[in-house]
Amino acid sequence: MKNIAVKTGGCTDWNDCGTLNGKTVLLGVTGSIAAYKIASLASMLVKSHANVHVIMTKNATNFIHPITFESLTGNKCLVDTFDRNFEFQVEHVSIAKQADLALVAPASANVIGKMAHGIADDMLTTTLLACRAPVLVSPAMNTNMYENQIVQDNLKTLKSYGVRVIEPATGYLACGDTGAGKMPDPEVLFSHIEAEIACEKDFAGKRLLVSAGATQEALDPVRYLTNHSTGKMGYAIAKAAMLRGAQVTLVSGQTNLMPPLFVETVPVVSAQDMFEAVSRRFTETDILIMAAAVADYRPREFAEQKIKKKEGEPSLALARTVDILGTLAPGKRPEQFVCGFSMETEQLIENSAAKLKKKNLDLIVANNLRTKGAGFGTDTNVVTLIDGAGVRELPVMSKLAVAHRVLDEIISHIS
C-alpha cells in the first residue's frame, strides 16, 4: 500500500485540542462557602490555556479575597458595577462580549432569583444580562433552600431561557445537613465547560460506539487470562468524540480509569461479554471503533474450584474467543463506519492491511508495541492509519491527540 500525505483536521495542533486554548471563560462567584473551590477551577482553566475573568458579588468577598483570583488568572477580579478599564469601556459589556462561556459557581439562591427575573443590580448580574455566550449555573446552598419550590421554579425559568443548570451533588453540607445542594467538585465543573466549548461539534447527531480496555478470561475463581491494556486509548477516543458532539457509548473492559463524563459507559469482563454488549448496540450505531484489547483465547474449561499445585508440568487447553469485528463488520450497512485497532510486534503494515481487508473495515489504526512512545500504559501513542486509500504514518502524539486525528479521518470519510 502506498504512503500518502497526512490529513490535517480542524485544529492546527491536536496536542492542544481538548484544552481551552484561545477560549475566554467568565466565572461568576457568589456568596457561598463553596466559593473557595472556584480557585482550583480557575487554576485548571488557566492550565488549559483559557483566558479567565472572575466577577464576584460583594457577599462572595466574605469567603475568598479577589486577590486570590487575580493571582491565579492574571486578570483583574471585578466586583464594582462602575469599574472601568483603561480604554474607558464599560467592563460588564466588554467582558460579556469576550466570553465564550459564563459559569456562575457557586450560584446562591439570591443570584439565581435575580437571573431568572432579569434583575441587574451588581457587576455580575449586569454582565450576565449582557452576555450572549452560553451560561451555566451551579447551585450551591442548604438542602431546604435548594428544594424550596421558589428556587426550583427559578431554576426552571432559567432553563426555559437556555441556561444550563448543573445539578448539585448530594452530601454533607457546611451547615451540618446532609442532602442535595453541594456544589460539584472543580473537576466536574471543568468537564462541563470543556464539553460546551472545547471543540467544534462536527460529530453532532452521530451515534458512536467505542470499546476500550482489556478483557479477562476466567481460569478458575482466582485466576484469569488478560493483557497489559490500560484502556487509555479507547477512553481518549470516547472523550474526544463527546467533546465533538457525538452521542457516545463506551463498552469498557477492566481499567483503573474514570469514565469520561457525558458518555454512557457499559462495563464488561470477558470477550463474550464485550461481544454481546457491542452486538446489541451495533445496529443503532453510526460509527464503531474497536479500541479494546480483546483476548484471542480463553481457557477451554473453567474450574469451579481453585486449581491446586500438583507435581509435574501442567498444561492449559485454550479455545478461541469470538472475533467481534470479524463477526459484525462484514454485515455492516453501507452508511456505517467501522474502525479497528491493530497492535503488532512485526510486519505492522502487512499484518494490519490484511486485517483491514479480511474483516471488511473502513479504517484500521495500527501501532507497533516496540516503537518508542507507543504501547500499553503510556500517555502517548505512535500510530499508522490504513484504509483503502493508503497508509498515513503519524508522529508521536498524546493519546487524546491521536483520538482526534482518528476522528478527523472518520469525518473526512463519512462527510
Quote the cell numbers at residue 111: 443570584
The amino acid sitting at 331 is G
**Predicted local confidence at residue 9, as pLDDT:** 35
pLDDT of residue 5: 36
Q: In angstroms, rounded to a whole number, what is the distance separating the alpha carbons of residues 278 and 272?
A: 10
Contact between residue 228 and residue 269 where contact means Cβ atoms under 8 Å apart: no
CA distance 371 to 378: 12
- Which residues of the chain form CATH 3.40.50.10300? 207-306+313-414
Domain with CATH 3.40.50.1950 in the chain: 24-197
Distance CA 114, CA 296 (A): 60
| 230 pLDDT tier (thresholds 50, 70, 90) | very high
Q: Identify the band that residue 12 occupies on the pLDDT scale cut at 50, 70 and 90.
A: very low
Q: What is the pLDDT of residues 56-91, one digit of tens each?
A: 999 999 999 999 999 999 999 998 766 555 444 456
| Mean pLDDT computed over 296-324 | 90
Which has more pLDDT, 65 or 309? 65
Q: Which amino acid is at 410?
A: I
Q: Mapped to the 3 state alphabet, what secondary structure does the chain carry?
A: CCECCCCCCCCCCCCCECECCCCEEEEEECCCHHHHHHHHHHHHHHHCCCEEEEEECCHHHHCCCHHHHHHHHCCCCECCCCCECCCCCEHHHHHHHHCCEEEEEEECHHHHHHHHCCCCCCHHHHHHHHCCCCEEEEECCCHHHHHCHHHHHHHHHHHHCCCEECCCEEEECCCCCEEEEECCCHHHHHHHHHHHHCCCCCCCCCEEEEEECECCEECCCCCEECCCCCCHHHHHHHHHHHHCCCEEEEEECECCCCCCCCCEEEECCCHHHHHHHHHHHHCCCCEEEECCECCCEEECCCCCCCCCCCCCCCCCCEEECCCHHHHHHHHCCCCCEEEEEEEECCCHHHHHHHHHHHCCCCEEEEEECCCCCCCCCCCEECCEEEECCEEEECCCEEHHHHHHHHHHHHHHHHC
| 11 labelled catalytic | no
Q: Which residue has the higher pLDDT, 405 or 174?
A: 405
**Omega before 106 within 30 of 0, i.e. cis:** yes
Catalytic residue among 131, 175, 199, 339: 175
Mean pLDDT of 42-58: 96
Amino acid sitting at position 19: T
**Cell reading at 51:** 483566558
Instruction: Retrieve residue 6's grid coordinates.
Output: 497526512
Higher pLDDT: 142 or 290? It is: 290
Question: What pLDDT does 378 receive?
Answer: 87
> Among candidates 409, 404, 368, which has minimal Cα distance to 385?
409
Choose the CATH number for 207-306+313-414 among 1.10.287.3510, 3.40.50.10300, 2.30.40.10, 3.40.50.1970: 3.40.50.10300
pLDDT of residue 175: 64
Largest CA distance in the chain: 88
Per-residue buried b or exposed e for 41-62, using 16+ beta carbons within 10 Å of the residue's own CB: bbbbbbebebbbbbbbbebbee
Fold of 24-197: Rossmann fold (3.40.50)
Tell which residue, 274, 272, 294, has the closest CA to residue 209: 274
Q: Is the pLDDT of residue 105 over 50?
A: yes
Does the pLDDT at position 320 exceed 80? yes
**Single-letter amino acid, residue 347:** Q
Is residue 18 within 8 Å of 408, Cβ to Cβ? no
Q: Which residue is it, cell 477451554?
A: 300
Structure pTM? Answer: 0.89
